[in-house]
Amino acid sequence: MENSILTVKHFNAFFGETKVLKDINLEIPKNEIIALMGPSGCGKTTFLRCINRLHELTSGAKSEGNMYFHDEDIYLMNLIMLRRKIGMVFQRPNPFPTMSIFENVIAGYSLNDIKLTKAQKEEIVEDSLIKAALWNEVRDTLHKKGTFLSGGQQQRLCIARSLSMKPDILLLDEPTSSLDPISSNKIEELLLELKKDYTIIIVTHNTQQAGRISDKAAFFYLGELIEYDTTTDIFTNPQNKTTQNYITGRFG
């Protein structure tokens, strides 16, 4: 696919001897939201963690096959560079508790010892918080701890922290599962805005959420990619009976 940013070929992942992803093949296009769906334990979060190589941090975890970011094999790339290009936001908001809002946004630079001038820091913080739709809410309290914010604001702060590194892909692992409906809705609106500039891959248990915001959907079951298509086709005309049963709420 000409406009694909991520290409996955014959990819397998293991925890010890247990194969948790089985021969995954898919292409992810630029500037779209891709929803990874499926019941708990089906491999979708493992797949997400393989994309920026967090999977291998688990003892006994390994993978085989290929993932290409543009044309570069992810598993041959410099790890710091890879994680700058492919940002990650986790299920529970996790601002660094000892850091201010300002420090949280530029944490990636501090932790990687990348020197910035005061003016550069201020510009990155403002730009990232504007992109994360948080600037107007925190502009006067930038030097307060990030943990003072509400759950939804903390999650947008974590998104700002990822965006500050100027990634191409944003990975989100159930980013709204611990949020109330209003905060979840704000995150969904934000993601629809962000896809103009980023490719977004989101793990979600919420099929309604996948239906609302994603362009394409991938359905995982027991470590296999059962079906991958436009969200409209997956929801209105699934090719596989298991997909249909999941989408109609018969299991999951």
Tell me the two tokens of residue 142. 């930038």
> Model pTM?
0.95
The per-residue pLDDT for range 189-216, each reduced to its tens digit, is: 999 999 999 999 999 989 999 999 999 9
d(CA 13, CA 64): 6
Residue owning tokens 């000409």: 2
pLDDT score, position 252: 63
Q: Give pLDDT < 50 ranges for the chain.
A: none
Q: What number of other Cβ atoms are within 10 A of residue 70's Cβ? A: 11
pLDDT score, position 118: 96
d(CA 78, CA 231): 33
Q: Tell me yes or no: is domain 4-247 CATH 3.40.50.300.
A: yes
d(CA 105, CA 127): 10
Domain locations along the chain: 4-247
pLDDT score, position 3: 84
Query: Minimal CA–CA distance to 201: which of 235, 240, 175, 178?
Result: 175
Measured CA angle at 106 (ends 102, 111), to 5 deg: 130
pLDDT score, position 112: 86
d(CA 34, CA 61): 25
